Amino acid sequence: GAVVSQHPSWVICKSGTSVKIECRSLDFQATTMFWYRQFPKQSLMLMATSNEGSKATYEQGVEKDKFLINHASLTLSTLTVTSAHPEDSSFYICSAEPTGQALSYEQYFGPGTRLTVT
């Protein structure tokens, strides 16, 4: 149980286009999901916290107009990279926290999405 999927697993897009990444909790509901970005040989950096039915909370330095997050249901959050540029190329990882289990500190991670912008 407690599986999180991401789609696509990798994507290549041209500069200036937009890309949508999906994060799904397959066997549990998640009021809260998190989006991370990972550079090669670097740690995961939290980009934003996504809450079902409300606006996402972005970390300092993350452009909310560039990285659009929508958490429309208890099992799905999407990250859209708008007007992508080569510097947006990275590994994007989502995680989901089961509803009602915040105090357990458990987050379940997706396998990540490799974005390459040419």
Of 14-22, 63-71, 75-83, 107-115, which segment contacts other proteins by CB under 8 A? 107-115
Residue 102 has what DSSP assignment? Answer: G
**Position 106 contacts other proteins (CB under 8 A):** yes
Contact pattern for other proteins over residues 23 through 62, marking x by CB under 8 A: ---------x-x------xxxx-x--x---------x---
CA 73 to chain centre: 14
- What DSSP letter does each residue of 4-55 carry, written as one string? EEEE-SEEEE-TT--EEEEEEESSS--SEEEEEEE-TTS-EEEEEEEETTS-
* 98 counts as binding other proteins under rule CB under 8 A: no
Quick one: 2 or 68, whose CB is closer to other proteins? 2
Q: Which listed residue (25, 31, 78, 95) binds other proteins by CB under 8 A?
A: 95
DSSP letter assigned to residue 59: P
Q: Quote the tokens at residue 99.
A: 């509803």
- Binding-site ranges for other proteins (CB under 8 A): 4, 32, 34, 41-44, 46, 49, 59, 93, 95, 102, 105-112
